[in-house]
Amino acid sequence: MTLRDPIQVVISPNETTHARTQKLAIAVTEHPAFELVECREIPVDVQFRTGEAHINVELKEPADMVQSVLNGHLTRQVLAMREAQAPAMIVVLGSLKDVEAAIPWVDSNGKRDPKARWSDLGRVRAFAAEAYSVGIPVFYWDQNWEGHLLSHAKRLLQGGNILATIPKPAEGMRQVAALSMLVPGLGPKKAQALIDGFEGGFFALMWLVCRPYTEVKILDSLQEVPGIGPKLATAIMEAAR
């Protein structure tokens, strides 16, 4: 297949009923560089293919983005996309302000809780930085998102860098800041010890606490890190969940 051949676009069967992917399908049929191919089971919402190369894409509405970050589902998706060893991205169909507005002001009991909201906002921002750190950028496109996605996919399949259009976060303190924001009372020194104590860093830690292990096993694993006692291990587990 040459660069003049159409880029194949595969949409997951689970996505075909959504208005967002119907909008994407229309954009694909109107673009000469792309063709919509038969729906098949794929591990993500949308996949772009040319020859043996492919790009995996997860689509998220602002509210879905927030919920998926807070319940750990998006962390697991990022890990799966990373293990697939193919270029991947998360596309939020809205602006960062839309995502922030989707974070609830009230808790599960209907009580207004600004402190919890700011904590959740920190977790969402930290997630984007950590996803970038493993090579999976988060794009916020509130206008003509389908056009941006097609242009970006075409550029990548022609040899572009998936991270080139995203400012690179500062090295070193990024993971420490993310973990400190995630867990109330966790200082930078112990956050660094936690990251150093898990091969794979922040996402490896989140993978541990999000998996269906017994709480005892999770707490024991966390307390193997120097300086992490029972109280802090419990706080880490509860914050991540």
Asked if the model's pLDDT at residue 27 lies above 60, the reply is yes
Q: Residues 195, 175: contact at Cβ < 8 Å?
A: yes
- pTM score: 0.66
Q: How many other β-carbons are positioned within 10 Å of the β-carbon of residue 132?
A: 17
The pLDDT tens digits for 156-204 are: 888 766 555 544 444 445 566 666 666 766 777 777 777 776 655 555 5
pLDDT band at 81 (very low <50, low <70, confident <90, very high): confident
Q: Domain locations in the chain?
A: 7-157, 173-240
Q: What is the mean pLDDT of residues 47-74?
A: 91
Name the DSSP class of 130: H
CATH 1.25.40.10 fits 7-157, yes or no: no
Give the closest residue to 89 by CA, choosing from 25, 33, 163.
163
pLDDT at 170: 46
Q: Residues 31, 150: contact at Cβ < 8 Å?
A: yes
pLDDT at 169: 47
Which is it for strands 7-11 and 46-50: parallel, antiparallel or unpaired? Answer: antiparallel
Residue 16 neighbours by CB under 8 Å, 6+ apart: 22, 39
Query: What is the helix (H) or strand (E) element at residue 59, kind and residue range?
Result: strand 53-60
The pLDDT tens digits for 204-228 are: 565 555 555 566 677 777 788 778 8
Asked if the model's pLDDT at residue 87 lies above 80, the reply is yes
Name the DSSP class of 10: E
pLDDT at 2: 46
The pLDDT tens digits for 104-159 are: 776 666 676 666 777 777 788 778 877 887 788 899 998 899 999 999 899 888 87
Q: Residues 46, 21: contact at Cβ < 8 Å?
A: yes
pLDDT at 33: 92
